[in-house]
A and B are shown apart, each in its own frame.
Chain A
Amino acid sequence: MSIPNSMRVGPFLPTVLVKKKYLIFYILIIWLSAIPLFIEFWIYYRFVWTPIRPTFFFIYLPLLLLPMYLTLAFFGMFWAKFFIIFVNWLHKPCEGVFLRHPSDKDYRYWSLRNTIKRWPFWVCHRFPFPFLDNVCFKVFNVKTKFSNSLFEGWVDTEFISFGNNVVCGQGAIIQSSVIIGNLLIIRKTIIKDDVRIGSHAIVMPGTHIGNRSVLAANSVTTVGQVLKDDWIYVGIPCKEFKQNWFFEDGLEDKLGVVEDVDALLGKYAKIITKVRWTENLTLKERKSIKRQLKEEEERRWERSKKMDNEKREDIF
């Protein structure tokens, strides 16, 4: 029901800090966004406080806390957006493959952007209702709708766009940037309408997921993979499993249970596991075996051609 405390979900802002001075921005945003709170509190105090018996002060105090929290969130968003515009003006964020090294400008700015956005996203995500998250996404130019539920998964905050009714499963990860070795790969991820991403599934940067597609639980896409409309994808990396008929009407009584578990396991085995060599062969040996197989096939092909020709000669 609720995501456990120990598991990190929510807007994904990597904690990579290339330079310590980026923290100045972070603390500045916290500072600037907290000041309006106290002014609000002052107004409340002025109006409601009576020194002899402050009954109303304490009765309405819980009701004050909600707007105070919202103020913190919105001012956090405002100032972070202000700094993000400034930083983006200095260096436009772009897609591509960058080096994970402080000398790379894109990597530095990627880290800076994440540090700046951290405060509003953190505040919004600590709020138990999902709508603040959605507002925060919209403020930072992620194309999304309020009908999407991305709250229980983990979604990157830039270079990503969602359609309608997207559901991101519990603990699923939707990335638009990934660190592999010394490389930082940033690609735009596009997710269309009615897509359902299973729990613990991972969407790598640059994935396009078509309308009404399903990425099953514990599956991974590869960078730049295109998932077709109306299909269910399973596997590591994911492959077509079957067509998604579950959007048709009148299936309540027809949805079936798996009866033959062994057959299902066989089906999955085809998708997930590949042909493995039983013996421990080195790469060279494997290659030579493959070559032999290929040559044999070619020989057979030629032989069949010959047979064909001979037959024809016979007929004529």
Chain B
Amino acid sequence: MLEGSLENGSKVEEIPKEVVLKEEMNLQFGWYILIFIVNYYLSWLLAGFIFFSYFLIEFMPNFLQVTSFITLFTELKSILALLLMPLVIIACYVIRLIFVAITTRIFWRITERISPSKDGVIPRNIKSKAADYYHLRSFMLKYGKNLFIKGMFPWLSNWFFNFVGSSKIGKGTTLEESVASDKHLTVGKNTYMGVNATLASHLVQAIFGNIQYFRMQVGDNVTMAAMNQIGPGSEIMDGSYLLPLASTNRHSVLKGGHNYYFGIPLRKIFTKKTMNYLGITEEDLEKNENMEAYLEKIKANPSKKVKKVKKDQKKKIEPSKIITTEVVKEQQKDKIDVERLTKEDLAIDFTTSSAISRINIKFLMVYIPILWLAGLIISIFWYEYTKGVWDFSNQTSLINSIFNNISTIIFLPIAIFIMIYLFILGVLFFSKLLLIFINMIHLPKEGIFLAEVGNPDYDFWMFRTELKKIALWLLRNSPIPWADVVALKWFGVNMDSSSHLYDAWCDVDFVSIGRKVLIGQGSTIMSSMVIGKYLIIKRVIFDDYVMVGGHTTIAPGTIMGHDSVIGAISSTTYNRILDPNYIYFGIPAIPLKENKYAEERRDVVIKRLVDESKKMEETHEVNIDDNKKKFIKTGDDE
């Protein structure tokens, strides 16, 4: 890895300074796999050993091999074996989590020693050690993060981040699940980050652009309601309250102090608007600001205050009668003459969704053979693997038998890994077979169809969707989620394997993706959309080196030219064409500027003071290896 970069460096030196380098990023998959295997292996080893010894020593003889159903509940030994089993499983699970945290911490420390993570812009068009180690670190954190935050005990995730050292999280803080908010953060006490609220300490600007990597500062008692996207380098001071979807660019400074923020990009909103948006009274606002004083008041005379508040609430909240009256009116309405509708009325100039998880039970029956056949493969594998263990009871002593089966225990994590992927491959294979069969009956095609049961295009679209979903779902929840490229390619996405979209929701029909495309976290790429009664299917095309920001919605028929970028939380409309080499942003996307990150100065950082609505320029050192600093344009050149 090091040699490769040096070689490139020596070649590059001959190029004059005016030419801008555009090297493609290559990820060190060798290192990734090594780290993953060590992490995975160690995590299963002790947990697997404890579980199996309990299973073989306690559970098998005392519970499974008891012949009569009644003695199961009368004998103390068998009852204990049964009752302890779930607790043993929970304990093994927690042990596994702890081991994942320890190995991640060790690797994290090693990489920090070689190339410490520091604030700064990492150029993405020049290969460098800093960029390599940045990618390596984000990879190694991801497995642990997903395991903790999506697992049975999400409450342990704060401990995980603190223990690994990726970010500092204060006491009493709740971080809900989100696509980012994992590294390079400092979060204060008693804050609440709502669902999918992303504290992105890293931000990619175009394929041949920069990675913005700056520490995020979040103060005490900050709340983010949901889906807030905060750029790197932002400082959110104590007591800033963000309403849903309030998002901001990088290097924003929020002053806080019981202020409310709303919008994209977020702005401070004042009392009247806050009350309007949140449906609360001035009394509530007062309560929010001086909570301590209010609590003391309640303590002084508890009963009266509480009752009063409740009465107010009851008055406020009455199911609105407006709707019910409107419904009655609606039913009396006559049918509208379709011919009279204008072009503008029928233009699809907004974007909805294509999620359909409603499906005929008949179709679901298809799964049983698929799952069974795939399960049979691993069943056979498991039988072969544990052949020696099953005649355990015939062996003479415990220690002897464990010693005999030591190879079974040592290779257990690898066996589990193989079993997971054998199962997924089986499901993939059988669903693909079925898909070929279905496509022979009805060829998928683009167009506008009636979205009603009975329309063959709609029915088969739903069926295809449902059929592809299961294999993809399994792959994406497996230890290596980026392996889903295989499934996507099998199921008919026309893509290059150098592109990544494992962090995005993507339709698996009529999507073409070029080389090195980066699809942001949590974005949605739809080649199908249901509007009212109609299903629209149209091909989505991404050319080479396209970037899509996080939480962005791409509507069917969108075509993105090469090197174009669409920012975070934007959306395109039906049949939109985005020009190559341009940056787009907004709802719907508007062209912002040309994509020239590689040519621009990189040491300038623009700070945004949200409360004063002012902008400030600051300079910051670029984070790149010393021998490559000459390729980068900075202030000294001018």
Contacts and interface: CB of A to CB of B under 8 A. Distances in A.
Contact of A62 (B345, B371, B574): B371
A265 interface: yes
B571 A196 contact: no
A75 to B, nearest CB: 11
Interface string A146-174: 11111111100000000000011111110
Contact of B536 (A58, A255, A283): A255
A169 to B, nearest CB: 3
Give chain B's interface residue range (CB within 8 Å of chain A).
35 or more
Interface string A30-59: 110011001101100110000100100011
B358 A180 contact: no
Contact of A206 (B241, B279, B531): B279
B352 A198 contact: yes
Given A154-B195, A199-B524, A272-B587, A170 B505 contact: yes
A12 interface: yes
Of A1, A128, A261, the most chain B CB neighbours within 10 A belong to A1
B155 A15 contact: yes
Interface in B504-539: 504-508, 521-522, 524, 526, 530-534, 536
Chain A interface SS verdict (over half): loop
Contacts of B532: 212, 214, 244-248
A151 B278 contact: no
Contacts of A128: 469-470, 473-474
A316 interface: no
A17 B534 CA distance: 44
Given A4-B502, A128-B470, A223-B277, A179 B574 contact: no
Interface string B283-295: 0100110010011
A6 interface: yes
Contacts of A234: 350, 587
Contacts of A181: 221, 223, 239, 241, 258, 260, 288
Given A1-B469, A169-B352, A255-B448, A99 B371 contact: no
A47 to B, nearest CB: 12
Interface string B171-208: 00010111100000000000010111000000000000
Interface in B251-301: 258, 260, 262-264, 270, 276-280, 284, 287-288, 291, 294-295, 298
A147 B319 CA distance: 25
A276 to B, nearest CB: 9
A1 B472 contact: yes
Contact of A30 (B90, B146, B356): B90
Contacts, number: 408
A31 B569 contact: no
A178 B503 CA distance: 26
B353 A8 contact: no
Given A14-B174, A97-B280, A220-B244, A54 B390 contact: yes
A211 B330 contact: yes
Given A31-B87, A103-B295, A268-B587, A171 B522 contact: yes
A208 B317 CA distance: 12
Contact of B288 (A150, A173, A183, A217): A183
A7 interface: yes
B441 interface: no
B571 A267 contact: no
Nearest to B309: A96
Contacts of A122: 152
Contacts of A229: 323, 326-327, 330
A50 B178 CA distance: 48
Nearest to A277: B613
B391 interface: yes
Nearest to A172: B353
Nearest to A63: B372
B635 interface: no
B70 interface: no
A248 B338 contact: yes
Of A4, A34, A96, A171, the most chain B CB neighbours within 10 A belong to A4
Nearest to B64: A45
Interface string A126-152: 001111000000000000001111111
Interface string B322-342: 110011001000011010010
7 contacts: A8-B195, A149-B357, A154-B196, A170-B505, A217-B571, A255-B346, A261-B576
Top-6 shortest CB links A-B: A62-B375, A246-B532, A169-B353, A8-B177, A34-B86, A223-B279
Interface of B: 63-64, 66-67, 72, 82-83, 85-87, 89-90, 142, 146, 149-150, 152, 154-155, 174, 176-179, 192, 194-196, 221, 223, 225-227, 239, 241, 243-245, 258, 260, 262-264, 270, 276-280, 284, 287-288, 291, 294-295, 298, 309-310, 313, 317, 319-320, 322-323, 326-327, 330, 335-336, 338, 341, 343-359, 364, 367-368, 371-372, 374-376, 378-380, 382-383, 390-391, 448-450, 465, 468-470, 472-474, 476-477, 481, 502-508, 521-522, 524, 526, 530-534, 536, 551, 553, 555, 557, 569-571, 573-576, 587-588, 590, 612-614
